[in-house]
Amino acid sequence: MPINFDEIMQLKSEGCEFRYSDREAILYALGVGFGSDPLNTAELKYVYENDLQTVPTFATVIGWGMPTLARSGINYLMVVHGEQRLTLHKPLPIEAEVVVDERVSNAIDKGEGRGALILVEKVIREKKSGDKLCTLLATIFARGDGGFGGPREGAPAPHELPARAADRVVDCATRPDQALLYALSGDRNPLHRDPQIAKMAGYPRPILHGLCTYGIACRAIVSSVCDYDARRVAGFDARFTAPVFPGETIATEIWTDGPVVSFRCKVRERDTVVLNNGKCTLRS
């Protein structure tokens, strides 16, 4: 069924309630590599229930699997995650009851044979206070759904990286079973776990979740720029450019300019950019 612009722009899910505890927050932290060195005591605040902090990008798995796009008409076999933006209105609590609203904010037609961009906005609020915790904007690249007659403009402009050499580079090794662990935070897509499904999709073996790479980039910045204080992160945006295979090493190139931290991630083994146009905004 082709995309109908008027109908897809009406898609939303409102008032969905979820609860998470320190168990889910710790599991996510382990899934993006915190605690991989058990002697690094600075990382214990994310994986050990003693003065815990929540990884900012944990926001991407709160309320996972909402049904907003179920009636969108897009071909899910041809869908990839194009970009993820995150604004944190306050640091995420280590446990909370939340209310989540999600809606399609735009559908951009790149043309017949060129796909479509579906922008999905999610707002997460604390149930008790009604305060906003965070706002997320995901760009979904529906590769098989162009030519439906929608607008051609309106995609978010990518953040421009500085022209100078990176101020620092942080290497994060991934484990061969990284995708199996990360999947427990919500995304059970078999592409990331089943070798046969991965081959059907054109990959030699299962690939790492893009949002896991996104979380690993956040870990690199929290550990180096923020001195392990995740409460300093107020925003985290990146564009997905290529997959990572579990077991590869992700090198995060980092540029710091006051409250704006620019970043890009490469796979060491293949010298391939896997996250680009990254922007982390810090609180003063």
Q: What is the pLDDT of residue 188?
A: 93
Q: What is the pLDDT of residue 1?
A: 57
CB 109 within 8 A of CB 149: yes
Phi-psi region of 218 (alpha: psi -120 to 50; beta: other; left: phi over 0): alpha
Distance CA 106, CA 121 (A): 9
Question: 101, 187, 209, 237: which one is catalytic?
Answer: 187
Distances from the Cα of 159 to the Cαs of 101, 155, 168, 280, in angstroms?
A: 26, 12, 19, 10
CB 57 within 8 A of CB 32: yes
Q: What is the pLDDT of residue 213?
A: 98
Contacts with 127 (C-beta within 8 Å, 6 or more apart), sequence order: 17, 96, 97, 98, 99
Q: What is the pLDDT of residue 65?
A: 86
Q: What is the pLDDT of residue 284?
A: 81
Instruction: List per-residue pLDDT tens for the chain, 284 residues long.
Output: 578 999 999 999 999 999 999 999 999 999 999 999 989 999 999 999 988 999 999 999 999 988 899 888 888 777 889 999 999 999 999 999 999 999 999 999 999 989 999 999 999 999 999 999 999 999 999 988 898 888 999 889 999 999 999 999 999 999 999 999 999 999 998 999 999 999 988 899 999 999 999 999 999 999 999 999 999 999 999 999 999 999 999 999 999 999 999 999 999 999 999 999 999 999 98
Q: What is the pLDDT of residue 143?
A: 85
Distance CA 229, CA 164 (A): 26
Strands (E) located in the chain = 12-20, 79-88, 96-109, 116-126, 132-142, 168-173, 233-240, 249-257, 260-267, 272-282
Question: 101, 109, 145, 192: which one is catalytic?
Answer: 192
The answer to whether 171 is a known catalytic residue is no
CB 214 within 8 A of CB 275: yes
| Span 74-108, pLDDT tens digits | 887 778 899 999 999 999 999 999 999 999 999 99
| Secondary structure class of 7 (helix, strand, coil) | helix
| Secondary structure class of 262 (helix, strand, coil) | strand
The answer to whether 159 is a known catalytic residue is no
What tokens were used for 57?
Answer: 């990008």
The pTM of the full predicted model, rounded to 2 decimals, is: 0.95
Q: What is the pLDDT of residue 202?
A: 87
Domains plus CATH for the chain? 5-142 (3.10.129.10), 168-282 (3.10.129.10)
DSSP assignments along 71-119, one per residue? GS---GGGEEEEEEEEEESSPPPSSEEEEEEEEEEEEEE--TTT-EEEE
- Strand partners for 137: 85, 121
Q: What is the pLDDT of residue 73?
A: 80
Contacts with 91 (C-beta within 8 Å, 6 or more apart), sequence order: 53, 54, 56, 230, 231
Contacts with 24 (C-beta within 8 Å, 6 or more apart), sequence order: 58, 61, 185
